[in-house]
A and B are shown apart, each in its own frame.
Chain A
Amino acid sequence: MPTTHARRAPPAASATVARLSGVRVKGAARRGILDLTMPRGSFHFLTGPSGAGKSRALETLALLRKPDEGCAVELFGIDPWAGDESGRAALRRRIGFAGRHDGLVDRLTTFQNAALPLALAGAPAEGRAHVVEMLDWLGLAPVAARAAGTLDRARRRALCVARALVAQPELILIDDPMDDLTPEVADRVLGLLSALGKGEAAVVMTGRDPAAARKAGATVLTLDGAG
């Protein structure tokens, strides 16, 4: 498992990393509606049928889409949509997101893609050791110098996960990673997310295997498709 480097103190430390309200799920105390709160050191697993809104919920939390009507999002104690785009950009730098559609820059190498969050955040180049370690751990070291556009589906997926985790974000959002990853890498990722969810980060993952997630210590929530 990759070692961690010293995390910078968050600009606004808050016990609650993220809050998503107005999400309709099964089994909620108030039937049909759940205010999903993600404190530091939490690991949530969202599951549900295709089209239930799992990916949409993650993209909303990642500030890649505006909340749907009736749904609200709060990150680090801030309403991100009350501020401007610069403010949202600053919040995004505190989030690690790996979506279903890989957001890789095909022209850049595997290493460059993985290091993008650190480089964009102006992190010191010493962070490259952490990138190398992460790539190695996910089996991407042999292709570190290759353009991302030449990688197969499994490696692209692993690279997305590496990029989401490399900057040690406070909120980690991984959308259904297990399908495309090799079983060995999928187990490693689940183990790492579980460990991170017991530390300073809030982890939200989607998928279709709640049993494995429960085994890894995740709180499983089932979306009913009206999300």
Chain B
Amino acid sequence: MKGWTEFRGTSLLRAPVRRASGVAIGLAALLACLALLGAVAAGRGASGWTAGVARELTIVVRPRVDETGPTAAARAAEAAAGVEGVTEARALDRAEAEELLRPWVREADLADLPLPMLVVARLDPETPAGPLTLNRALAEAGLDAEVDDAGPWRAEAARAAVGVRALAIALALAALGALAALAWARAASAVVAMRHDLAVLQGLGAGPGRLRGLTLRAVLPFVAAAAAGGAAGGVALGALWKLLASGGQAASALPLAWGDLLLAPAAVAVAVLAAALSTARVLREVLGGPSAHG
């Protein structure tokens, strides 16, 4: 069309643009984008808390009659710290112990209750010390102390983390799948709506490559723009979450990194790819056989 000023700014093919279609693709892209960000954040959160659980052991210390609780706890921390596979051991004060027990006792007043002395041992992630090794070392130090064996609970937590990750990924894939299906359907109906003009151009000698190019140029910008709008909304909500939830419990449950927001274009890419594949397929069907000119 080079040099033909009469065709400048004119598309030989124009997809019928319906606002409802654009809104639907935009909403699907927004949901897909949020699901994608949620999956990444949930995966990171699950990894964080399973790693945290695996990295720590709690030691319950019972003071002997001739020593105070803090003294016994300090000795236990010292003994535990000397064990290979323990990077750090620290005796908890009463406030910290109450905080640790709070999930189990909820609103109960702990001020008058005798609480055990607790020591938290941070383990080497590469070669973590086991409960048996620690118990032996504590006994050798003459302490009446015992490692709280949370092994079964840790395994359960790890399984739960795998479940959370799998669920989040499944939700993200389902949202992306719904977006792809919607983009596919809208692109297909746009091509069908253009079949008269396509038949005219075909009858005038436009080849398959030319028709494919014209059709893609008519359909994809609309799909891309709608999906980009939705993805931009997803980025904005992700950024809002990052800013507002920063440092809170919500942020630690779904820790989002700024870099995660770069995943948003994936939703646009999925929509555009689905629309392109749909366009090519339906175009083959529409132009499959020669049709009456007009």
Q: Which residues on A are within 8 Å of B, measured CB to CB?
A: 59, 62-66, 85-86, 88-95, 97, 99, 101-105, 107-109, 111-112, 115-117, 119-122, 124-125, 128, 163
Q: Given the known A-B contacts A89-B208, A116-B204, are A64 and B4 also in contact in the complex, defined by CB atoms under 8 Å?
A: no
A64 touches B207 (CB 8 A): no
The closest CB in chain B to the CB of A81 belongs to B290
Interface centre among A64, A66, A99, A163 (most CB of B within 10 A): A64
* Residue contacts A-B, CB under 8 angstroms, 28 given: A59-B292, A59-B293, A62-B203, A64-B291, A64-B293, A65-B291, A85-B207, A89-B210, A92-B202, A92-B203, A93-B204, A93-B205, A97-B293, A99-B294, A101-B293, A101-B294, A103-B293, A109-B6, A112-B7, A116-B200, A117-B205, A119-B1, A119-B4, A119-B7, A120-B201, A120-B206, A121-B205, A128-B6
Does B141 make an interface contact (CB < 8 A)? no
Q: Which residues on B are within 8 Å of A, measured CB to CB?
A: 1-7, 10, 12, 14, 197, 199-210, 287, 289-294
Q: Given the known A-B contacts A85-B208, A99-B292, A120-B201, are A112 and B10 also in contact in the complex, defined by CB atoms under 8 Å?
A: yes
CA–CA, A66 to B291, complex, Å? 9
B6 touches A64 (CB 8 A): no
CA–CA, A40 to B292, complex, Å? 26
Contacts of B14 in A (CB 8 A): 107
Select which of A59, A120, A125 is within 8 A of B204 by beta carbon.
A120
A125 touches B4 (CB 8 A): yes
A125 touches B289 (CB 8 A): no
B289 touches A66 (CB 8 A): yes
Contacts of B197 in A (CB 8 A): 105, 107
Q: Given the known A-B contacts A86-B208, A90-B207, are A108 and B10 also in contact in the complex, defined by CB atoms under 8 Å?
A: yes
